[in-house]
Amino acid sequence: MQTKKRVCIFCSSCNYLEKSYYDAAEEFGKLIAQNGFDMVYGGSSLGMMWACAKEVKKNGGEIIGVMPKKLHDMGVYTDECINLTVTPCMRTRKAKMDELSDCVVALAGGFGTLEEISEMIVQKQLGYNNKPVVFLNTNGFYNKLIEFFENIISENFANACASKLYYIAHTPKEAVNYLINYNYSAPSVTKEEIYARKHPKPQINI
């Protein structure tokens, strides 16, 4: 039976990034393990994924991998996972990672990371879960994306309460503290919160 909370990590599998991104991934992995969390991730032996995962394992946490068959066949997985699930495709991979985790954190990453974390925000928005969703904004990597999110809200494509669906952390320690102090039993979002009009309907005087 699972007793420890599991953090789902989305991030880059690239080996050619600026060193500070790997440093942040390693620090985050170390801190989550030291604070009693295990890690769910893509199962890769590459990039920030592995930088984070190896620190989790080194500091007493377990790493659980979920990888689509196409990537598994490329041999980019690690044997260090306590369990590695191979899925038919990327879509089933996301569903499995969601099923296995209690929290979601996006470190710096590319299109895959953006797609994965965006789906988790929508899942929370519609009340399918109440997991903490965190962006670890190393080097201001997500500044432009957060600015775009604010534009989505200001243009009424999302309600103002949408900004409460995710948390922006600037350091690994801040991200871990948020996960530790999060109210996991809070109620799901209501229909009124999702569809409420942000601004009153303007009056038309004739």
Q: Is residue 203 part of a domain?
A: no
Which residue do the tokens 């990590």 mark? 9
Please report the pLDDT score of residue 93 as a whole number.
95
Please report the pLDDT score of residue 202 as a whole number.
47
Tokens of 51: 């930088």
d(CA 166, CA 135): 7
Residues 150-177 have pLDDT tens digits of 999 999 999 888 999 999 999 999 999 9
Tokens of 86: 């191979």
Q: Is residue 17 part of a domain?
A: yes
What is the domain range of residue 51?
Answer: 6-195
Domains: count for the chain:
1
What is the band of 121 on the pLDDT scale with cuts at 50, 70, 90?
very high
Q: How far apart are the two ends of the chain, measured CA to CA in Å? A: 67
Q: Is residue 19 part of a domain?
A: yes
CB 77 within 8 A of CB 65: yes
Q: Is residue 206 part of a domain?
A: no
Q: Is residue 66 part of a domain?
A: yes
Q: Residue 103 — φ and ψ, nearest 5°? A: -145, 160
Please give the average per-residue pLDDT across 173-188, as a whole number: 92
Domain with 191 in it: what CATH number? Answer: 3.40.50.450
Answer with the residue of higher pLDDT: 128 or 187: 128
Q: Is residue 132 part of a domain?
A: yes
CA atoms within 13 A on the CB side of 24: 26
Q: Is residue 166 part of a domain?
A: yes
Nearest-10 Cα torsion for 69, 116, 105, 98 = -60
| Closest among 136, 108, 131, 107 to 120, alpha carbons compared | 131
Please report the pLDDT score of residue 194 as a whole number.
73
Please report the pLDDT score of residue 163 as a whole number.
92
Residues 51-92 have pLDDT tens digits of 999 999 999 999 999 999 999 999 888 898 999 999 999 999
Least confident of 1-10, 38-47, 116-125: 1-10
Q: Is residue 167 part of a domain?
A: yes
